[in-house]
């Protein structure tokens, strides 16, 4: 499996028979990694968006099929209001729902913000993309009571995911520097609860150094942490 980091929470994945683009939003389709997927007509393309926030969804993705051809869209239900008329190759899913066409299975779980998180099964691999699921505790701004509530909501969601998947091959998960000194807390809780073979940070904008500094905390729980250094960074897993 080849994984190309696009930007922020965006990734392009190449499995043996299919390709998957998740949460693309950065303008332009010429960035490394995305071009490889869009011009590879040998693999069917699946385009996923976890929710309609501007840093996770761009209507530009609806034009990917003009470049690639055989393309299916699996989008969070809240995006329907953004798109309006639903194209024939768009499927909306919400928390607890799934999409399965034989080549890929996508299970939607909840979020602690908007939309959904995704558990993807393809080629015998399991890949979790958190979307905006995280322990958004904001400890340096919120009251202790507010932070405790945010954390309780997050941990409850983790329990739901763990009931369906005790382990994953790959997890793409937020390590957002805006959360301050505890920015990797949600990621640590995820890998402690769900056995993760490979961990890839996301949702950090251009603050690569801070995101990669979560490595020790994540690897303490047995996951292999993959540092990201630039747009188009490619990982072979």
How far is residue 101 from each of residues 6, 18, 75, measured CA to CA in Å? 26, 12, 15
Round the average pLDDT of the chain to a whole number and report it: 94
DSSP 163: H
Q: What is the pLDDT of residue 84?
A: 86
Closest of 57, 25, 5 to residue 201, by C-alpha = 5
User: pLDDT-based confidence at 30, cuts 50/70/90?
Assistant: low
Q: What is the pLDDT of residues 46-67, one digit of tens each?
A: 999 999 999 999 999 999 999 9
Number of neighbours of residue 84 by Cβ within 10 angstroms: 6
How far is residue 114 from each of residues 27, 105, 111, 174, measured CA to CA in Å? 22, 22, 6, 14
Q: Is the pLDDT of residue 29 over 70?
A: no
Side-chain-facing half-sphere of 115: CA atoms under 13 Å: 29
Instruction: Give the residues across from 90 on adjacent strands.
Output: 73
Beta pairing class for 98-100 and 234-236: unpaired
Q: Is the pLDDT of residue 213 over 80?
A: yes
Q: Is the pLDDT of residue 27 over 70?
A: no
Question: Does the domain at residues 2-236 carry the CATH identifier 3.40.190.10?
Answer: no
Mean pLDDT in residue range 121-140 = 93
What is the reported pTM? 0.95
Q: For the chain, where are the alpha helices, taking DSSP H only?
A: 34-38, 64-68, 80-83, 144-164, 185-193, 208-212, 215-219
pLDDT over 70, % of the chain = 98
Q: Is the pLDDT of residue 28 over 60?
A: no
- Radius of gyration of the chain, Cα coordinates, nearest whole angstrom: 17
Q: Cα–Cα distance between 229 and 237 in angstroms, integer?
A: 17
What are the structural domain ranges in the chain?
Answer: 2-236
Q: Cα–Cα distance between 138 and 147 in angstroms, integer?
A: 7
Q: What are phi and psi of 156, to 5 degrees?
A: -65, -40
Q: Which of 26-30, 66-70, 92-96, 175-179 has the lowest mean pLDDT?
A: 26-30
Q: What is the pLDDT of residues 33-46, one digit of tens each?
A: 898 999 999 999 99
DSSP 185: H
Q: Cα–Cα distance between 171 and 202 in angstroms, integer?
A: 10
Length of the chain: 237
User: pLDDT-based confidence at 32, cuts 50/70/90?
Assistant: confident
């Amino acid at each position: 499996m080849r994984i190309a980091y696009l930007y922020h929470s965006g990734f392009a994945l190449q499995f043996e028979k299919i390709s998957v683009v998740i949460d693309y939003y950065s303008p332009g389709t010429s960035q490394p990694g995305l071009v490889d997927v869009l011009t590879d007509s040998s693999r069917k393309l699946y385009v996923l968006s976890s929710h309609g926030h501007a840093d996770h969804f761009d209507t530009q993705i609806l034009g990917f099929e003009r470049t690639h051809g055989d393309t299916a869209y699996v989008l969070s239900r809240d995006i329907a209001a953004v798109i309006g008329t639903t194209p024939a190759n768009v499927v909306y899913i919400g928390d607890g729902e799934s999409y399965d066409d034989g080549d890929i299975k996508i299970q939607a779980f909840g979020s602690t913000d908007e939309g959904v998180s995704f558990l993807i099964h393809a080629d015998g691999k399991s890949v979790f993309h958190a979307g905006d699921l995280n322990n958004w505790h904001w400890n340096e701004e919120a009251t202790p009571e507010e932070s405790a509530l945010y954390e309780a909501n997050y941990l409850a969601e983790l329990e739901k995911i763990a009931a369906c998947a005790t382990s994953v091959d790959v997890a793409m998960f937020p390590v957002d520097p805006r959360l301050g000194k505890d920015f990797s807390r949600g990621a640590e809780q995820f890998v402690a609860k769900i056995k993760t073979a490979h961990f890839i940070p996301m949702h950090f904008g251009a603050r690569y150094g801070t995101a990669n500094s979560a490595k020790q905390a994540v690897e303490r729980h047995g996951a292999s942490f993959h540092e990201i250094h630039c747009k188009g960074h490619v990982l072979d897993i």
